[in-house]
């Protein structure tokens, strides 16, 4: 299975790339959490730990699967299919 993960804002700087194409050799079903864990092997830098921590701490961290916010689905347990694109935006502020 192949998925593309795109990073935006300050996350690009942290990861060191604007996108990563992953080939996952995991058995189905695969979740967003599995993809985040696979990023650790591909990128290092405690990427998976940082993203999960941000997810738990900030409701404004935005993760989309094919343009759909996973907070309105099953969160990190949202299923991912071959060819999906996951976009991750850093927590935002406002005022």
Q: Which residue has the higher pLDDT, 94 or 13?
A: 13
User: How are beta strands 19-23 and 2-7 bridged, if at all?
Assistant: antiparallel
User: How are beta strands 62-65 and 79-80 bridged, if at all?
Assistant: unpaired
Q: What is the pLDDT of residue 14?
A: 87
Which residues on adjacent β-strands are paired with residue 63? Answer: 88
Q: What is the pLDDT of residue 73?
A: 93
d(CA 77, CA 95): 31
pTM as predicted = 0.90
Q: What does the pLDDT look like over 33-80, one tens digit per residue?
A: 999 999 988 887 788 888 999 899 888 899 999 999 999 999 999 999
pLDDT beyond 60 at 93: no
Domains of the chain: 2-89 (3.10.20.30)
């Amino acid at each position: 299975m192949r998925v593309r993960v795109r990073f935006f804002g300050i996350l690009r700087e942290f990861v060191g790339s604007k996108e990563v194409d992953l080939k996952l050799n995991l058995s189905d079903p695969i979740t967003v959490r599995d993809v985040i864990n696979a990023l650790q092997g591909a990128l290092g830098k405690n990427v998976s730990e940082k993203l999960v921590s941000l997810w738990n701490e900030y409701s404004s961290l935005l993760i989309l699967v094919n343009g759909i916010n996973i907070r309105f689905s099953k969160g990190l347990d949202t299923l991912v299919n071959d060819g999906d694109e996951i976009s991750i935006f850093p927590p935002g502020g406002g005022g």
